[in-house]
Chains A and B, each alone.
Chain A
Amino acid sequence: MNTLRFVAAQAWQEFRAGCRGPLLAIVFPGLIGYALIVILNADYMREMGATEVPRNSPHVIYLMMAGQAVWIFFVWAWLFGLNVVRDRNASLHEVVLSTPVSLPALLFGRYLGALALSTLLPVATAIGFWLVPALGALGIIPPDAVGPHPWFAMAHSLLLFTLPTAAGVGALFLCAAIWTRSIAGPFAVAAMLMLVWMVAMVVVRGGDASPAVATLLDASGFAEIEEQTNLMTPREKGQAVVELTPPLLVNRLIWTLPPLLLLAIVLRRVGREQLALEKAPAMRRRRSQASGARAKAPPESVLRPGPAATPSWLRATWTEAAWHLRLSFRGWGTPLALAMMVATGVGGAFVHVVLHADGPLQPRSGLVERMTIEYFYLVIVFMVAAFVGVMARRDDRTGWNEISDATPAPVGTRVVGRALASLCLTVAFALTPLAAVWIVTGAALPGAFSLANPAPFFALLLAPALLEVAAVVLLAHALIRHAGAAHAVSVICAFIIVVNHELAVTTYPPAEFGVPAHATVSEFAGWGPWMNHILTADLFKLAIVVVLLALAWLAWPRGTALTVPLRWRTALGRIPSGAGVLAAAGVVLAFGTHAVLYEQFVTLGGYQSEASETAEDAEWEKRWWASATPFSTAGGEAVVDVDPAGRTATAQWRLDGVRAASGLLHGALPDGAEIQYASVDGEQAAVTVALDQFSLELGECGLQPAPDTDEPHDAESPAPGAEGCTVELDLTVRDEGWADHGESRWLHESGVWLRATDVLPTLGHDPDRLVRAPHDRELHGLPDDPVAADPHALSPTMGVAPAGDWRWTVRFASSEDAEPSRHARTATTGQVSGPLDFAAAWWPRKPMEANVEGVTVYHGSMRSNDVEVVLNDVTEMRSCVAGLLGRAPAVGAVLQAPRELGATALHGDLLWLPEHEGWDVAAGGFGHWRRRATLAGAFAARQLADDAGLRKEPGEDWLRVGVSGWIGMECVRREDGRDAWLALHARVSGQVIEAFGALDAPAISVEAAGDVPWIRHYTPLATAAWVESIGPAEAVAAIDEVTAAVRAGGALSEALAAAVGEDDARALLGPPASSDVLVAESERTVEIAGQRWLWRDGGWEPLTVPIHVTQRYEDGSDERHRIGPVPATAEPEAPFTIIDAWPSFERSPTDNVWRGEGGGE
């Protein structure tokens, strides 16, 4: 037989052997099932950016085929490892190695066989997608979600990603198997590859450090696919072809050729002796010497005790656990893994936190732990699956299981011993990142270093979730006798858990198996608001762990020649033993804790799945939207009493001069609110409440025609009844239950963070509750588009009641208790001439206070060093807004609000600055510019909303988000320079592109969009382009004209058209537009070129209109010129920036700049 035929024969043998093994039988259906889970889950698809595209969109195929490589690495490791280990397992290795065949040819043939099988496995995913038309035909998925078969994408991804990756990493696995003569080597390589993948995806790419580096590091190619598809429009996704970009080409080459070269070298050098010998670990000399000493011990030491007396199996269990645990740390695997985790964690924390793209950030407690958990989670889950699997299979060697089974030790001793060791090892893995946090905090921010603060994140959030993973892995190994199959099932379980964590397929907290509980810990509140929640959730998870371990105990195989019926009978027979008791205890504990969790999350906390929320919104639209009629108020007074200890608040709200065209006053109740009493002109009035919306019958006093304006009435004007009704509402609000995804609570004994929207109903109809996605509208029987409501029927944009003369008072019960000096609070009274909005805070212990030029900053001791910079930012940005708009709202206080409790906003004169937006960034760099832009935007939004008495009418986002966003960026430009502005612009441009790649609903126009992510990023850039085209002074004049017209009762769209002309108004409020203007040096001139697109039917459509651009000089003159149509040339006289003179977002602002002679672009 010639060599070629021999290699082919070996490859075929290996392929057949692989097909006969259990892996194919497990992995193939597993992958098909996984693909179907993905396809059937609309939320999951949405998370993958598959909105407005078929479920079998080519981009999904690319993502899936490459993305699954991460866990398939472990299956591949097994397959390639068998190339070496199969003979050894059958004790035939010496026979095979003594045959007169070429060893390199033998191994290479086997490598090819394993490669063929490895390439075949991911095809199962493609089979899942082939079923999509059938699912559509059966009505399981909407017919319009079925696209043509993505044949090309399947073949392309197989050839471009699966095959080269399998060839490359397969070569590494085989080399590792040859070196170690065991499966452990390939598994270690797989773990290493996943670690590198994790660094690439989470640290480098997630931290926006460098997409190209992420692409190079990622052996699967997934990073590049995600990078490319994230930037695709829905239409492009439907026809996606992943381009072979230079980084991707390099990636494919470096992950294929060098490993193959390495394999060639290893195959050339490998000797039969190397594969035939056992590899014995070297023992430490000192131990050997010690053993020698022991061997010479006095004779009595070798006198064996008699027969074992009544053994203590409990003690034996502990000893067994300790033995397994010691052994886990004895080899190089576990210590090396832990050391690498710490090293990676330190590096990751520096890149991902300190050098974050939105930073630099300060690695304080509350921020660094969450981010560390985020990027460690994936790798730890797989490590737990691997290490616990190894521990479960430790006796899986010839004869040892039989010896173990024949010992008198109860199965419980062996199972529980192993389980305890597994759980301890898992806890060690969970706590290891803690070391990274300590190191990073100690090095980067020594003042914030704390040994204790970070520990609960890992001990209380991460560890219990990982224990669930460990328990399910142990159960898999107890149930499945074949080690490879059990490892494969464990890895599949780990993969599903990771996917659930990343994409939140399951959102009901108790059902989030293996996912850490959610808690947002901030400096003031600390763990106080979370402890009950976390401890109960942990108890529930531990109960699940106990149940799984009990099942493992019941299922644990003992003996040989076991059949399924025999194992079943054995398991039933073990029920009366400790396993049954443990299972019963676990079930009881699980039910008990789940009852508490259900009550807290669902009954009190109002948890709903996304589908339920959409269904409720659809009901709300059907029930209430048609009754949206104009209303107005003159003002009034709100008095709120807060009892932090009781977590309740009561509010008495008097509204004067209430008028409504339909005679009904509508409003949306805040969470946990109930109207106790309502009166109109002193008479009790009927209130209808449904779906958190109420309507109050005003009677005749309110039936007068609604005015055309929200102009506040004179506060001194008497007899409000003469111009409308006086309405009094008594409410109670309970901030009960637990937030399902860790949202900070506003009312707790550890602190109160109250905004008007938390305690008072928001009057009017909220269009943000309308169902936007066409599929959801059709599903719930709603018309294609909601009926347009009168703008004066809608809720105010920033507050709870339309513009009026309002007074408010907040009283904190606890603050009047004993030791009042210990408590603290912000101002508790105020008045507003505009939409009613206010905020107040209360602390059980006094916070730090700083007062500079009449502005009081309430902050925690950890933020003392930041106060000066924050105050400076507030002052400068407020001045800038005043300079731009001619006015700016007063700022009386700055509040360090809890992390992720709302966004930066000015409520009355209190600046609400949450930790994550205002207090995590360092004093310089991009993050600092971003905070300054956010502050200026918040001041502008407050001013504009108050000036216009703005309600949530179509297009209000342009004024509230777009104009204020432009002001934010422009202020940074004025205060911090062009480069700061450019950095902000580039970042926001990227966010716009990403937002259009992940649409929840079709993007029709700015006017019709509502509060959606793309609006938040797009409108500031489009507004900036518009402002540049006409100049800031003219723009501000037009904005003033619009706010005045809206305040006077006009519709915003009409007011804008009147102020800026029909064309510009249509461009600002119409479909999203994009531009790409380019500045390039050419001999003695500068060439300017450009391209425009308009969003139509889910994609960017190129326009062929003449393009004019604005040239803004950066020489201090701030002079602007209109150039066009482009291509055109500009004289290189002074540095300038070019921006399209059309309301659109610039795709790549960094190439719009001319830095002057010698500066390049």
Chain B
Amino acid sequence: MPEKPEGLEVTGLNKTYPGGIRALEDVDLTVEPGLYGLLGPNGAGKSTLMRTLATLQAPDSGTILLDGVDVLADPDYLRRRLGYLPQQIGTYPTVTGRQLLDRFANLKGRTNASERRREVAGLLEQVNLSQDADRAVATYSGGMLRRFGIAIALAGDPRLLIVDEPTSGLDPAERSRFHRVLADIAADNVVLLSTHIVDDVESLCERLSILDQGRIVAEGTPASLAAELEGRLWSRVVPRGEPLPEDALHVSAKPTGSLVVVEAATRPGESWEPQAPRLEDVYHAAIAHGSRRREARVA
């Protein structure tokens, strides 16, 4: 008897909105236990994919399996194992953190009152909100609200945690704290982290996919993806006033001008230095390759 596959497997996922916007196009993903990153620019379809995986909207076609179970046919199977933190959560009036967490723990199936109380206390401790548990949620800072959101997502001890842009707007200390929480969780579970902040993925994820305009344009470990660009990246600080090369993968500001990174099989010129590939370069390269492929298809 074959062993039951573990993790999340997405195959041929398509989603087109009523206005004709194709949000997902033949998306395939295999997410094993651990932290998995989903990178992509704004509007790439990350949130659509996250919401689809969270059973909040139905795909037009494709399959989603969690531990081998078709969750499109049995969404409750996934919901019972899901922790979900959407891209944004607003304030919630009148209620304290403890009360709100208690409520969502109940909705996540923690229906035994004493167990729920213990879980709420534990979660608040885990996200370092115990001291503020009886404060109104409306008074929480942005970072506290994100941590509170992760506490809600963790209620019920989920097998699959989907977090959409969790660190946007957080200060470095909050971000670091958040990373530690996610890393702890990922030890035993499947954590899908969607973000456009490359550093988050770089520092946390064992594997990642890059999504652009609804398609997966790259997939692998950060190292393997970076390896594909080994020896092909060149950088140069272009002084102010000089034109930037049109084929730049990405450009970042420097005190003396702009640091330009290009991809080329050979050194583009004397002034160009070899650039050790980082995930950020991988990200930009994947986006650029995807665009070129699309243009080629159109042509």
Chain A interface (Cβ < 8 Å from any Cβ of B): 182, 278-281, 283, 287-288, 290-292, 294-295, 297, 301-309, 311-313, 315-316, 319-320, 323, 326-327, 330-331, 397-400, 402-410, 413-414, 558-563, 566
Contacts and interface: CB of A to CB of B under 8 A. Distances in A.
Contacts of B87: 399
Point out which of A288, A301, A408 has the most chain B C-beta atoms below 10 A from its C-beta: A408
B92 A397 contact: yes
Contact of B106 (A297, A303, A316, A563): A316
A302 B55 CA distance: 30
Contact of B156 (A295, A308, A326, A330): A308
A176 to B, nearest CB: 16
A301 B125 CA distance: 10
A288 B134 contact: yes
Contact of A295 (B18, B102, B130): B130
A304 B138 contact: no
B244 interface: no
30 contacts: A281-B138, A283-B135, A290-B134, A291-B132, A292-B131, A295-B124, A302-B126, A304-B119, A304-B122, A304-B157, A308-B111, A311-B109, A319-B103, A323-B102, A327-B95, A330-B94, A397-B89, A397-B90, A398-B89, A399-B149, A403-B85, A403-B86, A403-B149, A406-B84, A407-B108, A408-B80, A408-B82, A559-B55, A559-B58, A560-B57
A448 to B, nearest CB: 41
B284 interface: no
Given A327-B94, A327-B95, A311 B111 contact: yes
A242 B93 CA distance: 46
A278 B56 contact: no
Contacts of B82: 406, 408
Contact of B57 (A312, A323, A408, A561): A561
Contact of B107 (A294, A398, A409, A559): A409
Contacts of B123: 304
Nearest to A286: B134
A88 to B, nearest CB: 10
Contacts of B93: 182, 281, 331
B136 A295 contact: no
B56 A409 contact: no
Contacts of A405: 55-56
B119 A291 contact: no
B107 A402 contact: no
B175 interface: no
B105 to A, nearest CB: 9
B54 A402 contact: yes
Nearest to A304: B122
B157 to A, nearest CB: 4
A563 B121 contact: no
Contacts of B56: 402, 405-406, 558-560
Contacts, number: 182
B88 A399 contact: yes
Contact of A316 (B57, B99, B111, B130): B111
B104 interface: yes
A478 to B, nearest CB: 17
A182 B92 CA distance: 13
A287 B131 contact: no
B146 to A, nearest CB: 11
Nearest to A328: B94
Interface in B103-161: 103-104, 106-113, 115, 118-119, 121-126, 130-136, 138-139, 149, 152-153, 156-157, 159
Most chain-B Cβ atoms within 10 A of its Cβ — which of A287, A290, A330, A400?
Answer: A400
A308 B96 CA distance: 23
Contacts of B106: 316, 319-320, 323, 409
A519 B123 CA distance: 55
B104 A307 contact: no
B138 A280 contact: yes
A288 B135 contact: yes
B121 A294 contact: yes
Contacts of A297: 121
Nearest to A324: B103
Contact of A399 (B55, B90, B95): B90
B107 A283 contact: no
A409 B131 contact: no
A301 B118 contact: yes
A330 B124 CA distance: 22
B136 A323 contact: no
Contact of A320 (B89, B99, B107): B107
